Amino acid sequence: MSRGSMCAELLRVLQQFMSETAARLVLRGTLEPLRLSLESVNASELPRVIEALEPATRHFVDPARRPQLAALLRTLTAPPGPAATASKPAMAPAEVRATTYLVRTESDASHARLAARSLCETLGGRGYECQKVATAVSELARNQIAYAGGGTIQLAPEQTPRRLLRVRAEDQGRGIPDLERVLSGTYRSKTGMGLGLLGVKRLADRFDVRTGPSGTQVDFEVWL
């Protein structure tokens, strides 16, 4: 296997679990600390590249599917059998499942935003649709960190009866005061708390929020 084809095979496997954009980002981010490039990976480097890929993919792959990804990556280091051919059959698209991300830090918020955009692309979303999702997730995650000490972001794709991405953001903060005024655009807070919520509502095709002393739950959908 040539150097270029090795990276092509790595990307082919990764794209069964994430979008092409995310796969290339993960692979480049894995190779840089190893002082390798997409063009310089050879057979002797492949085992350590695959070992380093496992932690790098954790923010993009559902925990239930990580063993499958690890097994497929390991097959790349196995010698080809006698019946192996130059061309490989196309692999069926991977099933896309709901994933929940814990948000505590700015890095967590960035991972959730990137994962939301990647999932939107995997579902076939257009650039504007994917940007809407990424922007809304980023706003909600940052609000969780700033006002509730963190929370969770769940990304739930739907294929039928219509294709969409559903997002649920939950926290255990003290709630959003004057919610009706916030969503009407007439509320002006000294801290800015809740103001981004109106932007999320405007970006969403369906939007719902519940808030109180025990926390806030925001649900929104973007149709693809």
pLDDT digits (tens, 9 = 90+) for 71-115: 788 777 765 555 444 444 444 444 567 889 999 999 889 888 888
Name the percent of the chain lying above pLDDT 90: 29
**3-class DSSP string for the chain:** CCHHHHHHHHHHHHCCCCCHHHHHHHHHHHHHHHCCCCCCCCCCCHHHHHHHHHHHCCCCCCHHHHHHHHHHHHHCCCCCCCCCCCCCCCCCCCCCCCEEEEECCHHHHHHHHHHHHHHHHHCCCCHHHHHHHHHHHHHHHHHHHHHHCCEEEEEEEECCCCCEEEEEEEECCCCCCCHHHHHHCCCCCCCCCCHHHHHHHHHCCEEEEEEECCEEEEEEEEEC
Of 75, 90, 108, the residue at which a domain comes to its end is 75
How does pLDDT run across 127-138, given as a tens digit for each residue?
888 889 999 999
Per-residue confidence (pLDDT) for residue 195, from 0 to 100: 52
Angle, CA of 107, 58 and 89, to the nearest 5°: 135
Structural domain boundaries, residue 213: 99-223
The whole-angstrom separation of Cα 94 and Cα 109 is: 25
Longest pairwise C-alpha distance within the chain: 71
Same-domain status, 35 and 138: no
Per-residue confidence (pLDDT) for residue 93, from 0 to 100: 43
Q: How many domains does the chain have?
A: 2
Question: Contact at 8 Å (CB) between 72 and 13?
Answer: yes
Per-residue confidence (pLDDT) for residue 41, from 0 to 100: 78
Note the pTM of the prediction, 2 decimals: 0.59
How does pLDDT run across 4-52, given as a tens digit for each residue?
577 888 888 888 888 878 888 888 888 888 888 877 777 788 888 888 8
Same-domain status, 50 and 133: no
Per-residue confidence (pLDDT) for residue 223, from 0 to 100: 93
Residue 139 domain-assigned (yes or no):
yes
Same-domain status, 20 and 116: no
Q: Quick one: average pLDDT of 211-217?
A: 95
Same-domain status, 215 and 121: yes
Per-residue confidence (pLDDT) for residue 189, from 0 to 100: 60
Q: Quick one: average pLDDT of 173-198?
A: 75
Same-domain status, 162 and 117: yes
The whole-angstrom separation of Cα 120 and Cα 60 is: 12
Residue 88 domain-assigned (yes or no):
no
Same-domain status, 105 and 195: yes
Name the more confident of 78 and 218: 218
Residue 89 domain-assigned (yes or no):
no
The whole-angstrom separation of Cα 108 and Cα 113 is: 9
The whole-chain average pLDDT of the chain stands at 82
